[in-house]
């Protein structure tokens, strides 16, 4: 009988949820849900210098925002806890002591200065730097001497000689390493805190993790973890190492790359929909069968196949993300999009925080007008700028439209038609445009473009009667008068 599927995402509480980490969490989540398994979130907080206050809560918050929920973790508990590594130090000590007792690990008193000197000498000799094992076989007397000097030992794992470590990677098939590539490596630092590769192997075994999907930067960690599994006679989980995420210039997606927003929080704050982000991230290094790219979360869970994880680097395309988010916005109900966008108009000072019902209704109509072309929530500020301007300045393209000889006649006639309306509503405004056509004999672009440019200041936009209605009669008539005056000087 095969082992139950148990996978984990193990973030460090060092700050915000990065795109790469979000993908790792998401793929593990999909794997667990596809196989009716368990998804665990474990906090790896042993690197205390990098931990930040609120880092764990931030990770949890944005995972939940993406729609990723877990079955066990520091916030909800579970039968395999504790789920924070600093709360598991007694557990690690038990296994460290066993390795020491069996001679599979030893205390090392080499200082950082001595290690650096050793590395520099190896480089100078054309060697790959690695620990030489100088303290591999210290006598009790030598250990006592070092401790009398006040030296704090680290504990190193005794790497077996002439050993090949192989594993069948879910993404990359067979990968192998030679033990000679590694020096004896530290499993417990001088401050008594276990290192990543030791703690993670112990945790994964005790938590019965069956599969590990993670980034390819962890490939070189895998043989060290296999050494720990072998030392204790444990069965190793199955590993899968996902390819890098690259930017459009095919450079590694770096946290220092300001060209692409790096953190989930930034996308949430800009007004991206979590469903769109979930869908987009799921396609970074994984592809379903067929050409379709828009899937619900349940659909992705159903079709997720780790055998379709890519062996080529994933490209993070911001334009594709905008397109995908736009598809989700277009299919979403107007009320939710209003909640997504209205805070951005308020923050930009376009609308007051406390609005009368009539003003809020107007804002809802305005947002609905741009819903189909909106790529993300914050974009509403730029798209609707013309509705908050006292005066409009025509660009070169707009001025070219207004230069046609028929324009003054069209604008004057349209102004008169608007003045005669019983109500300033879109259907009546549409009727006024048709009446202007009949009165002037102008049609098509020669009719619509001058009216659009004179009233909105732009050559392209949503339905013209709707735009004119939301601008309001006073604003529209003032703009028409200003345009006519400018053209007839």
Instruction: Decide: residue 141, CB within 10 A, 0-12 exposed, 13-18 middle, 19+ buried.
Output: exposed
Cβ proximity of 135 and 107 under 8 Å: yes
**Strand ranges (E), 27-98:** 38-41, 72-73
The one-character DSSP state at 355 is -
Give the span between the Cα atoms of 456 and 389, in whole angstroms.
10
The reply, when asked if residue 445 is annotated as ligand binding, is no
SS3 (DSSP) at 176:
strand
Answer yes or no: are the C-beta atoms of 476 and 452 closer than 8 Å: no
Find all residues with CB under 8 Å of 326, minimum gap 6, and list them.
373, 374, 375
DSSP annotation of 211: E
The total number of residues shown for the chain amounts to: 489
Alpha-carbon dihedral of residues 201, 207, 213, 214, nearest 10 degrees? Answer: -50
How far apart CA 267 and CA 325 sit, in angstroms, is: 11
The angle subtended at Cα 30 by Cα 29 and Cα 33, nearest 5°, is: 85
Q: Are 244 and 314 in contact (CB under 8 A)?
A: yes
| Tokens at 173, concatenated | 């098939």
**Cis bond leading into 82, ω under 30°?**
yes
Q: Would residue 36 be called left, alpha or beta, if left means φ above 0 and alpha means ψ between -120 and 50 degrees?
A: left
Indicate the DSSP class of residue 442: -
> How many whole angstroms separate alpha carbon 338 and alpha carbon 154?
58
Q: How many CA atoms lie within 13 A of 82 on its CB side?
A: 13
Quickly list DSSP for 311-329. SSPEE--HHHHHHHHHHHH
At 424, is the secondary structure helix, strand, or coil?
Answer: coil
CB-based contacts of 102, cutoff 8 Å, min separation 6? 231
Asked if 133 and 85 count as a contact pair (C-beta separation under 8 A), the reply is no
Q: Which 3 state secondary structure label does DSSP give 207?
A: coil
User: Which candidate in 93, 252, 255, 302 is catalytic?
Assistant: 255
* Distance of alpha carbon 146 from alpha carbon 160, whole angstroms: 26
Query: Is position 438 annotated as part of the catalytic site?
Result: no
Cα separation, 40 vs 74, whole angstroms = 9
Other beta carbons within 10 angstroms of residue 399's beta carbon come to 12
At residue 245, what are phi and psi to the nearest 5 degrees? -105, 125
Binding residue positions? 255
Binding residue positions for ATP? 255
Active-site positions read 255
């Amino acid at each position: 009988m095969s082992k139950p599927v148990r996978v984990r995402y193990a973030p460090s509480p060092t700050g915000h949820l990065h795109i790469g980490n979000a993908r790792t969490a998401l793929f593990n989540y999909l794997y667990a849900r596809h196989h009716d398994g368990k998804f665990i979130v474990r906090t790896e907080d042993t690197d205390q210098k990098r931990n930040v206050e609120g880092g764990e809560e931030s990770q949890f918050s944005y995972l939940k925002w993406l729609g990723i929920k877990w079955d066990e973790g520091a916030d909800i508990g579970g039968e395999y806890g504790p789920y924070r590594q600093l709360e598991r130090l007694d557990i690690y000590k038990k296994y460290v002591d066993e390795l020491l007792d069996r001679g599979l690990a030893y205390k090392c008193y080499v200082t950082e200065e001595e290690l650096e000197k050793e590395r520099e000498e190896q480089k100078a000799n054309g060697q790959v730097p690695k620990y030489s094992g100088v303290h591999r076989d210290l006598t009790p007397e030598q250990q006592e001497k070092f401790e009398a000097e006040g030296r704090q030992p680290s504990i190193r794992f005794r790497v077996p000689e002439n050993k090949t470590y192989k594993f069948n990677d879910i993404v990359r098939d067979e990968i192998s390493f030679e033990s000679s590539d590694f020096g004896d490596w530290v499993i417990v630092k001088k401050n008594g805190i276990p290192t990543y590769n030791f703690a993670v192997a112990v945790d994964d075994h005790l938590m019965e993790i069956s599969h590990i999907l993670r980034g390819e930067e962890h490939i070189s960690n895998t043989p060290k973890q296999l050494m720990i599994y072998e030392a204790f006679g444990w069965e190793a989980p199955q590993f899968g190492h996902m390819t890098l995420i690259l930017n459009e210039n095919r450079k590694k997606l770096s946290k220092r790359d300001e060209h692409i927003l790096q953190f989930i929080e930034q996308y949430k704050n800009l007004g991206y929909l979590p469903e769109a982000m979930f869908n987009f991230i799921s396609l970074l290094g994984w592809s379903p069968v067929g050409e379709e790219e828009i899937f619900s979360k349940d659909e992705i869970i159903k079709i997720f196949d780790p055998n379709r994880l890519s062996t080529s680097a994933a490209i993070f395309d911001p334009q594709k993300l905008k397109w995908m988010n736009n598809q989700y916005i277009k299919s979403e109900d107007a009320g939710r999009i209003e909640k997504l966008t209205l805070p951005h108009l308020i923050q930009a000072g376009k609308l007051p925080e406390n609005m009368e019902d009539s003003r809020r209704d107007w804002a809802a109509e305005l947002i609905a007008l741009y819903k189909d072309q909106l790529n993300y929530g914050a974009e509403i500020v730029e798209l609707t700028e013309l509705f908050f301007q006292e005066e409009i300045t025509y660009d070169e393209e707009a001025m070219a439209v207004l230069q046609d000889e028929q324009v003054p006649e069209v604008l004057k006639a349209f102004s008169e038609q608007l003045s005669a309306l019983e109500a300033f509503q879109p259907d009546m405004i549409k009727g006024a445009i048709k009446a202007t056509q009949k009165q002037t004999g102008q049609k098509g672009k020669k009719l619509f473009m001058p009216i659009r440019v004179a009233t909105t200041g732009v050559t392209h936009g949503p339905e013209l009667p709707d735009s004119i209605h939301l601008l309001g009669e006073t604003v529209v008539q003032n703009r028409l008068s200003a345009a006519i005056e400018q053209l007839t000087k």
